Chain A
Amino acid sequence: MRYAAPTSVAEAVALLGTEPNSRVFAGATDLVPQLRAGRPEPGVAIDLKKIPRLTSVAIDDGTWRIGAAAPTSDLTANEALTADVPGLVYASGLIGSDQIQNRASLGGNLCNASPAADAVPPLLVNTAQAVVAGPDGERTVPVADIPTGPGRTSLRPGEFVVEFLIDRPPPGTADAYLRLIPRTEMDIAIVGAAARITLDADGSCVAAAIALGAVAPTVITVPAASGGLIGQPIDARALAAVAAAASAAASPIDDKRGTVTYRRQVAGVLAKRAVAEAAGRARNGDGP
């Protein structure tokens, strides 16, 4: 296995084109454990962190551009980003320990394609777009279209994610993310739930999105749960309906981390709580 560290997107694309058995990485916090567990080594491991565009975090004409390889500790330290998408930043800060946070990235979290990836539900409720580079140039696709199943993505050979685009949320909007882990940290979500809520001046919901992690082969959005909120106040009745719809939308599996019954039940609980938390932030003006 060789190591390469291109310094531009073009150089990385070229390298991927000439080295068929190569693999890109950002923090390598998934790659290294996989190699240690006996997965086949790539011929070339391509480090994307030396490409400035992939590690920058900036707002540009009302749109956040978050480098796919930016360490999550750069996101949690960014106050402006935290004010705009507190749920996404909180989720980013849940991935691994403090040491891991200095390496782990949103791009890695997305492209590792775990159904339990913490950053993906908040990316989805914020309708984040991904800029993808490859042999045919760059294209912009919804983040939701990238994971296609556990460990699988829609990225074509030679492609990688360069950055994420998130439009600055409108006033009265906030997001939230919650996950259930048996411990308090250093764990993988048994269920994760993100919500983004926009309230009008009267406290009535004008826009809503809900996404669930670890309850299906990919992170899913739950329009059945969020749709019912529109035009409603976020009250106990509305939250109960969210919980029921989220539980119904969940199609989890039994595995070492949780059972179908438990995941279904908790998906509803976390969806409801995430909506309440996002609405609370939106109401208090904790969002943008």
Chain B
Amino acid sequence: MTITDQRPGYRYVGTRPVRHDGLDKVVGKARYAADLVLPGMLYGHILRSPHAHARIVAIDTAAAEAMPGVRAVITGADFPELPADDPERNTTRNLMARDKVLYEGHAIAAVAATSQRAAKAAAKAIAVTYEVLPHTLDIREAMAPGAPLLHDDVFTTGLDSEPSEPSNVANRTCYERGDIEQGFADAAVVVEGEFVTKAVHQGYIEPHACVADTGQDGKTVIWCSSQGHFRVRSQTAAMLGWDTARIKVIPAEIGGGFGGKTTIYLEPLAVALSARAGRPVKLVMSREEVFRATGPTPGSVIRLKLGAADDGKITAAKAWMAYESGAFPGPWAMLGCMCVISPYNVENFLIEGYEVVVNKPVNVAYRAPSAPMAAFAADTLVDEIARRLDMDPIELRLLNCPSAGDQAPYGPKWPRIGLRECLEAVRDSDHYRSEPAPGHGRGVASGFWFNIGEASSATVNLNENGTATVVTGSPDIGGSRASMALMAAEELGIDVYDIQPVVGDTEVVGFTDVTEGSRATFATGMAVVEACRDLKRQLCGRAAVMWDCDSDEVAWSDGQATHRAGEHEPLALAAITAEAGRTGGPLGATASLNARGAGPAFSVQVTDVSVDEETGRVTVERYTTAQDAGTAIHPDYVEGQMQGGVAQGIGWALNEEYIHDADGVMENPGFLDYRIPVASDLPMIETIIVEVPNPNHPYGVRGVGEVGIVPPIPALANAVYDATGARIRELPLSPPRVLAAITARNGDGG
């Protein structure tokens, strides 16, 4: 179902062609990085720390180097030490530990050998002497005085006075407006609570993989799966101390990223091994390595207090938000602070955020990073306000809903946004208008995500037969190739299947930032449209040559050049490209831009759950999500993104968590005990695409990849409360936790 604000009549945009890359993926022919085999290729294996926190006293690689089949062994000593202020310093120290290991799974050495077996055996033969240090995994413990210190050079920034002692708290962020004391004094209802979430993993199906082939000329070619091969190039260059010109990165197909492939883990190691051995080297992570060494999204502790007047208007908000960042500092608490009350107009607030390092893998983005934890706190408390005031939870949200011109909590004035439309779409949905089934509980929640623009490049080449090739630098993680083809088809007026969308390597297409922040269809799409518009001007010029008239006598409409005065029969695109050799040569255009004006995204969701009161098991019975897409270029993939975000949010809410033993070793590094949802865990997730076009994009695109994961946690927690009367403020809502809450409720006389 689609609810459209206003939409011009498009011919291709908004249709649902089969994606160009679909068939090869379905039949197993698509090539991922791990599929590549080169002549003479070696296999790499990484030795990882068994300790959560330890000083490296000595590494002896002699025995490993002497083993049969071993061609190269590297350690941290083989990479340059970057200066303290280098933005990639922590990346390089994450990829290969230097003086200390900071989490279980931290890489400490790597081997390349003629077989996987030989590489693994050699890695085992590397002798590492550790001095095991006390570790800390918990935010509150890591913040406490006397906690084991991860870094002696991290001093809390953002405090009123400069601290004299190093700390696990890397930064304090603060957003403040109005007078919160007055705001709470004006409140008829005040609700507050502490909300705790665990680290969770992005759970992409494809483990990280790459092949690097370093030549005698000192240049290297990397094939890898990533969300952005230009960042792979720059980060690899930084870690090796190389000029980026020595590195070419060829993007392989990607089997899911969700933010987790916005950084690198393997590539510089593969290049260094390949350079030393003089042969190509492949590195492929196991699932266990993915869990032990790659980015979870942070665990968090959030204390939130909201006040509301008796008419439901929120008068004040006070938040204390601590986010883990893993072994090195990150921006996660800051992002949480910016999101926490953004779906609401609040005049008085004080929001503080703390970034806390702990002995876990370095946190990486995960679909609207930091927003779901913040929404858990905010939308649970908003639900409590609605109950206390006996108001409908959607009406309460409509009453507090920001719109264009209101000031967002993090500073700027909101542009045209579609939150109100999403709230109304859910309110008017069949789902919300029907009563929950007997025994089912219902929950509602909303969510916000910024979306971003950044740099993108596109090259569009017209072939002599009138077809087109669209080359962009954006790895396609969610159907963006199909979107690029649709926008190009709309511009050029040729069939979408006559357009071949391609993801180009770092040497065939202009610089393009990572596919992140829901930006590919927005920003890279803008570059595609710009290149197509350039081409249309060129096509008009070629028609003018063919007609022997001035080019301003020619206009482009509906896929053909027309003579404004009607003196010539219109020329289809293919008729012009067929004559291109005669009229000035091949037709192609390139656009590179910094996309500005990304449209903020909102989603509103409703779910019905049943809870087995004797076992605490939660079953998601019904789910509806509304999301403002701006314009849905390819509705199938918009719906897919909406459903995918909800599915991951359900997993996060109900079962996913990192479990560690007393030594800080992860106990569930696999999909058996790290429980992402399976298909039969999910109901059909009904989608309502809301289209409030983004005025800053030629087709009104906002970006749809992320915001869908923001509301599920509070929606499910609110539904569990509705079903059971038990308010649960800690994730996951796993059967033992839900049963304990129900038991406690019964003990309270509930």
Contacts of A186 in B (CB 8 A): 671-672, 678
Asked whether B428 is an interface residue with its Cβ less than 8 Å from the other chain, the reply is no
Asked whether, in the complex, the Cβ of B675 is within 8 Å of the Cβ of A187, the reply is yes
Asked whether B114 is an interface residue with its Cβ less than 8 Å from the other chain, the reply is no
Report B's interface with A, CB cutoff 8 A: 286, 614-617, 654-655, 659, 667-668, 671-673, 675, 677-678, 680-681, 734-736, 739-740
Asked if A262 meets B739 with Cβ closer than 8 Å, knowing A183-B675, A256-B673, the reply is yes
Output the nearest chain A residue to B735 by Cβ-Cβ distance: A182
Residue in contact with B735 in the complex, picked from A36, A185, A188, A262, CB distance below 8 Å: A262
Asked whether, in the complex, the Cβ of A182 is within 8 Å of the Cβ of B672, the reply is no
Other A-B pairs, 18, CB within 8 Å; known A184-B680, A185-B678, A262-B735: A180-B615, A180-B617, A180-B735, A182-B675, A182-B734, A183-B680, A183-B681, A186-B671, A187-B672, A188-B673, A190-B735, A257-B673, A258-B736, A259-B736, A261-B740, A262-B616, A266-B614, A270-B615
Query: Smallest CB–CB gap between B429 and chain A, Å?
Result: 26
Asked whether A265 is an interface residue with its Cβ less than 8 Å from the other chain, the reply is yes
Contacts of A259 in B (CB 8 A): 736
Asked whether, in the complex, the Cβ of A269 is within 8 Å of the Cβ of B675, the reply is no
A187 and B288 CA atoms in complex are apart in Å by 17
For A, the interface residue count at a CB cutoff of 8 angstroms equals: 20
Contacts of B668 in A (CB 8 A): 256
Contacts of B286 in A (CB 8 A): 36
Contacts of A262 in B (CB 8 A): 616, 735-736, 739-740
Asked if A265 meets B680 with Cβ closer than 8 Å, knowing A182-B654, A256-B667, the reply is no
Output the nearest chain A residue to B732 by Cβ-Cβ distance: A182
Report A's interface with B, CB cutoff 8 A: 36, 180, 182-188, 190, 256-259, 261-262, 265-266, 269-270
A258 and B735 CA atoms in complex are apart in Å by 9
The total of interchain contacts (Cβ-Cβ below 8 angstroms) comes to: 51
Query: Smallest CB–CB gap between A213 and chain B, Å?
Result: 15
Query: Smallest CB–CB gap between B739 and chain A, Å?
Result: 6
Main secondary structure of the interface of A (DSSP, over half): loop
Q: Could you list 7 A-B pairs, sorted by A, with CB under 8 Å?
A: A182-B654, A182-B734, A183-B655, A183-B681, A187-B672, A257-B673, A266-B735
Contacts of B616 in A (CB 8 A): 262
Asked if A269 meets B614 with Cβ closer than 8 Å, knowing A256-B659, A262-B736, the reply is yes
Residue in contact with B678 in the complex, picked from A184, A190, A258, CB distance below 8 Å: A184
Output the nearest chain B residue to A266 by Cβ-Cβ distance: B615
Contacts of B655 in A (CB 8 A): 182-183
A266 and B735 CA atoms in complex are apart in Å by 10
Asked if A183 meets B677 with Cβ closer than 8 Å, knowing A256-B667, A269-B615, the reply is yes
A270 and B740 CA atoms in complex are apart in Å by 17
A73 and B342 CA atoms in complex are apart in Å by 52
Contacts of B667 in A (CB 8 A): 256
A257 and B735 CA atoms in complex are apart in Å by 11
Q: Which 8 A-B pairs have the closest CB atoms?
A: A262-B736, A184-B680, A269-B614, A256-B667, A256-B659, A182-B655, A184-B681, A186-B678
Asked whether, in the complex, the Cβ of A182 is within 8 Å of the Cβ of B617, the reply is yes
A261 and B615 CA atoms in complex are apart in Å by 12
Asked whether, in the complex, the Cβ of A183 is within 8 Å of the Cβ of B615, the reply is no
A185 and B673 CA atoms in complex are apart in Å by 12
Asked whether, in the complex, the Cβ of B678 is within 8 Å of the Cβ of A265, the reply is no
Query: Smallest CB–CB gap between B48 and chain A, Å?
Result: 13
Contacts of B673 in A (CB 8 A): 188, 256-257
Query: Smallest CB–CB gap between B665 and chain A, Å?
Result: 11
Contacts of B677 in A (CB 8 A): 183
Output the nearest chain B residue to A36 by Cβ-Cβ distance: B286
A187 and B677 CA atoms in complex are apart in Å by 11
A261 and B737 CA atoms in complex are apart in Å by 11
Output the nearest chain B residue to A273 by Cβ-Cβ distance: B614
Output the nearest chain A residue to B680 by Cβ-Cβ distance: A184
Query: Smallest CB–CB gap between A255 and chain B, Å?
Result: 8
A269 and B735 CA atoms in complex are apart in Å by 13
Contacts of B734 in A (CB 8 A): 182
A183 and B651 CA atoms in complex are apart in Å by 10
Query: Smallest CB–CB gap between B288 and chain A, Å?
Result: 8
Query: Smallest CB–CB gap between B372 and chain A, Å?
Result: 19
Output the nearest chain B residue to A269 by Cβ-Cβ distance: B614
Residue in contact with A265 in the complex, picked from B675, B681, B739, CB distance below 8 Å: B739
Output the nearest chain A residue to B651 by Cβ-Cβ distance: A183
Query: Smallest CB–CB gap between A184 and chain B, Å?
Result: 4
A270 and B671 CA atoms in complex are apart in Å by 25
Contacts of B681 in A (CB 8 A): 183-184
A270 and B616 CA atoms in complex are apart in Å by 13
A187 and B673 CA atoms in complex are apart in Å by 8
Query: Smallest CB–CB gap between A74 and chain B, Å?
Result: 23
Contacts of B739 in A (CB 8 A): 262, 265-266
Query: Smallest CB–CB gap between B120 and chain A, Å?
Result: 9
Output the nearest chain A residue to B673 by Cβ-Cβ distance: A256
A7 and B257 CA atoms in complex are apart in Å by 47
